[in-house]
Amino acid sequence: MGELENLIGHLQMQNQQLQAVLMQKQALSMQSREIEKALEHLETASDDVYRTVGPILVKVPGGEVKKQLEDDKEEVDLKLKTIESQEKKLRDKLKESQEKIQGMMPQGQGG
């Protein structure tokens, strides 16, 4: 039973890794949506907008903020693609581990 227990422990670890990746994915998705909303608001804003810098608001040109937000969105979307790739690999490994475990279980207990 030692090998089976090791596989089950490995499966649990993979499950925890997947949960962490899913949390990162959710946070990045929210960040991407927030940037999209900010860019939409910039379309209707005047030339100058205010940006928070630490505890203060600073007046900056809207074009500068738009460029920065577009760069930020590109970076977030790239991270999101990387996370989605990690998620797919983890899901594949989980499925493989589950199949191994089910194959090792005595008949009638697998399922």
Separation of alpha carbons 73 and 34, rounded Å: 9
pTM for the complete prediction? 0.80
Sorted by where each begins, the domain ranges of the chain are 2-104
Q: Collect all residues with Cβ–Cβ distance below 8 Å to 59 and sequence separation of at least 6.
A: 48, 49, 50
Separation of alpha carbons 55 and 50, rounded Å: 12
User: Per-residue pLDDT tens for 24-77?
Assistant: 999 999 999 999 999 999 988 878 888 899 999 999 998 999 999 999 999 999
Alpha helix ranges (H) inside 1-111: 2-44, 62-104
CATH number of the 2-104 domain? 1.10.287.370
User: Per-residue pLDDT tens for 77-101?
Assistant: 999 999 999 999 999 999 999 999 8
Separation of alpha carbons 66 and 20, rounded Å: 31
